[in-house]
Structure 1
Amino acid sequence: MQSRMNSPAMIVPEAIQALQALGQALFASAETTSVPMRTLFLAYLRASQINGDSVCVELHSRNALAAGEKAERLLAVAAWRETPHFTDAERAALALSEAVTRFSDRTDPVQDEIYKEAARHYDEQALATLITGIATASLWNRLNVSTRQMVSVSYG
């Protein structure tokens, strides 16, 4: 398999610059709020799993590992409801990630109970960071999936 084309973000220089700046702003915001970087990566990973973006699944998994995440927890993200590996705050972030990613599945995709549970664990700045981050992950997913971006694999 090969990609249909280079990533659209890479072809439009202003787009990649804007997306990189947005990513940096989100990481900076996470550092100053109650959103641990590992939680942000878990939320990104879940959105990328739902959207079928292998490039971002690998990227967010690697970033989470580099941030100190355990492999057992990464392997359990797709089944987070059925595992004991996640805190209540992480579960709220994962539920929010699923809701924000699956807009077309429901008439009220981000239901009050999901939003309120996330707001119980994260203040407004942290919640804004999570929501913007999840939306950004989904944007990258759409760019990658529509052009069939491939993970560069090198097994030693």
Structure 2
Amino acid sequence: MQSSLPKATLELVELRASQLNGCGYCVDAHTKELAAAGEPAVRINLVAAWREATVFTEAEQAALALAEEGTRLADAHQGVSDETWAQVRKHYDDDQIAALVYLVAMINAANRLLVITRTKGGSYEPGTFDSMAS
């Protein structure tokens, strides 16, 4: 995806949605992509508990909240909260917000396809999807 969002933000969002959806393949892929890009292990390991961590910027926290609420639509009973939208708007411009919304929708679709088809995690090699992104 072409976006002015930092690659780390994109991968963090995809990792968090994949964790929530129980997609082993996608958790494997996005964990390895973050590591290959030089993300510190502490940040990767704390994605699942990002609300209780000090290693994410306010902008990343807003993106992670959007990822969670956009993934757990049934839990929210109304989609993404006004508070989360306010935080997202504080840190991102319209094009970046559109990219985040698209990313959350697409990773949720990919998670569902891979979970339904029982695609297991563990064999992903970093860079596998680079040719598709260009």
Amino acid at match of 2:121: V
Q: Which TM-score applies when normalising by structure 1?
A: 0.76
Shift of 1:59: 0.3
- Of 69, 74, 78, the match for 1:108: 78
Aligned length: 124
Q: Which TM-score applies when normalising by structure 2?
A: 0.88
Among the aligned pairs, what percent are the same residue? 44
Aligned residue in 2 for 1:75:
45
- Find the aligned partners of 1:78 and 1:152 in 2 and give their Cα distance: 18
Aligned residue in 2 for 1:128:
98
Which has the larger Rg?
1
Pairwise CA RMSD of aligned residues?
1.3
1:99 is aligned to 2:58: no
Amino acid at match of 1:123: D
What is the SS of the residue equivalent to 1:151? coil
- Find the aligned partners of 1:43 and 1:80 in 2 and give their Cα distance: 11
CA offset digits 1:34-77 (Å, max 9, x no partner): x2110110000000000000100010111112222111101000
Amino acid at match of 2:90: R
- Find the aligned partners of 1:88 and 1:133 in 2 and give their Cα distance: 19
1:146 is aligned to 2:116: yes
- Find the aligned partners of 1:97 and 1:69 in 2 and give their Cα distance: 19
Q: Structure 2: state its 5+ residue gaps.
A: 125-134
Shift of 1:152: 4.2
